[in-house]
Amino acid sequence: MSARRRSRKGRRVAIVLFLAAVCAGWAVFAWNEGLGDASPDAKHPLAPPPSSSSAGEGYTEITLAAAGDIMFHDTELKSGYDKTTKRYDFRSFFADVKPILSAADVAIANFETTTGGLDAMPYMGYPRFNSPDETIDAVRDAGFDVLTTANNHALDTGSQGIVRTLEQIHKRGIDTVGTYAKRPDTRVLMKDVQGIKLAFLSYTESTNGLENALTPEELDTMINVVDERKIKEDIAYAKAQKADLIIAVMHWGNEYEREPAAKQQNLAKQLVGEGVDLILGSHPHVIQKSERLSAGGREGFVIYSMGNFISNQRLETLDNAYTEDGIILSFRIRKNKATNETSIRNVDYVPTWVYRDKEQGRSTYTYKILPIMDFIEDGELSAAFKQRMQRSYQDTMAQMDGSSRDEQ
C-alpha cells in the first residue's frame, strides 16, 4: 500500500465555547465544534497549523499533539525485522502520521512497552513487553518529543528494565515522565516551549502486580502510581514553577470499556479542581469520550482514553474492532505576551486506524497508522478496509466533545 499523503478534506473550524480564568497562568479555553460529520467529505483538519512564535505581535502560539498507547506485540516485532540485514525498523508504521506529529511543537504519547535489552529476556509482546531499541528510533522519527512511561507494563522487565528504557529514550533526545532511574528532584516534567511553560504529570493505576518485586521505597522512587498526595504535591510544584498549562496523563480505567468508569470521572474532576488544565487518558485500548469539566471554580478538558495508537489488538485478534481505533488531538495554545494569559484556542480531532494486512510477497504483516480522512478514498485499499475505517471514524467522532453539534 502506498504511503503517499492524501489531500485535506476540509478547512479548519474553531468556535469559542467558553472562557475561564484559572489560577495557573490564567489559562483560557476555546474548543472546536462542528466535527460530527463522518462522511468522506467531512470538514476535518489533517494536520495542525504551522506553529509560530510570532503568531501575532502580542502573543505566542504553539501546538501540542497527543496520542494514545504505543504497543509492540509479537507479530509487530516480526513485521519490523529484516531477515536479510538482521535488523529492526519500525519507521514505516508511523510514516502516514509523521507529517501531523512533526508539525506540532510538542507531541506526546504513552510508550507502553520496555526496552530492557536481551539480557533481561527475549524480545516479546504480551503479557510482558520487551521491545528492541529500534522502536524508540521509530517513535523519535515520527516526531514525538515526550513519552509517558507510567503504565501497567512499566515493570515488565523489572527495575533494571525501567532504568535501561529511560536511558535509551533519553539517548535519542526524547523526554519522559512517569518513571525514574533514581529519586528525582521533582516528578513533574517542565518544558518551556517558545516561552510557554508546560507542566507534564503522569500516573498509572496499576503495574500488573509486578510492584511486589520492588521494595516500597523503590516503588515510590521509580514509578508514579496514582496517589492523591503525590498528585497534589506535583500540581503545587507546577504552580510554583508558574506553569502556563498543566497536563496530566492518566493510565486508568477498565480495559475495552468504551465508557469511563465512575472512578475515572471522579478523579478527573478532582484533578481539574486542583489545577490541571488538560487530562489525557490511556489504558482501556479503546476510545472513550472527551468532555469539558467544571470543578472548584475552574474549567478543564479531559479525554478519558485515546485508544491504541499502534498495536496488534483488533477484530481478528480480540473480536473487538474498537481496539483498532486511535486519535491524535492537536491543541492550539496561545499566550498573551502582555498579560501572560494562556489560551487553548481549539482542539482538532484526527481519528486514526491501524491497518494490518499481509501484502503480496510478504510472509509478515504490514502495519500502518492511517489518519482516516487521508485514506478513506485510497484506491489501493479494499472496500472491506474502507468500510472498517468508516466505522472507526464514526465511532471515534461520536465520542468526541462537540462532535454532535452543527457547524456554525
Domain of residue 103, CATH code: 3.60.21.10
- Mean pLDDT value of segment 58-81: 97
Mean pLDDT of 209-222: 96
Flag whether pLDDT at 29 surpasses 70: no
Can you tell me the distance from the alpha carbon of 172 to that of 165, in angstroms, rounded to the nearest whole number? 11
Asked whether residue 40 carries a pLDDT value surpassing 70, the answer given is: no
pLDDT band for 360, please (50, 70, 90 cuts): confident
Domain for residue 374, yes or no? yes
pLDDT of residue 56: 62
Which pLDDT value is given to residue 79? 98
CA distance 119 to 243: 40
Q: Give the model confidence (pLDDT) of 78-126 as tens digits.
A: 999 999 999 999 999 999 999 999 999 999 999 999 999 999 999 999 9
Residue 57 lies in domain: 27-398
What is the pLDDT of the chain when averaged over all its residues? 88
What average pLDDT does this structure show over 203-220? 96
Q: How far apart are CA 399 and CA 287, in angstroms?
A: 7
1 within a domain of the structure (yes/no)? no
Q: Is residue 19 part of a domain?
A: no
pTM given for the model: 0.88
Share of the chain above pLDDT 90, in %: 82
**pLDDT tens, residue by residue, 368-401:** 999 999 999 999 999 999 999 999 999 999 999 8
Total count of domains within the chain: 1
- Quickly count: other Cβ atoms within 10 Å of residue 362's Cβ: 10
Q: Does residue 41 form part of some domain?
A: yes
pLDDT higher than threshold 70 for residue 141: yes
Residue pointed to by grid coordinates 502516514 = 96
Question: Is 9 inside a domain boundary?
Answer: no
Task: Kindly state whether residue 2 falls inside one of the protein's structural domains.
Answer: no
Q: Is the pLDDT of residue 37 over 80?
A: no
User: How many Cβ atoms are within 10 Å of 258's Cβ, its own excluded?
Assistant: 18
Match 506526546 to its residue by C-alpha cell: 108
Q: Count other C-beta atoms under 10 Å from residue 274's C-beta.
A: 22
- 144 in a structural domain: yes
Residue 336 lies in a domain: yes
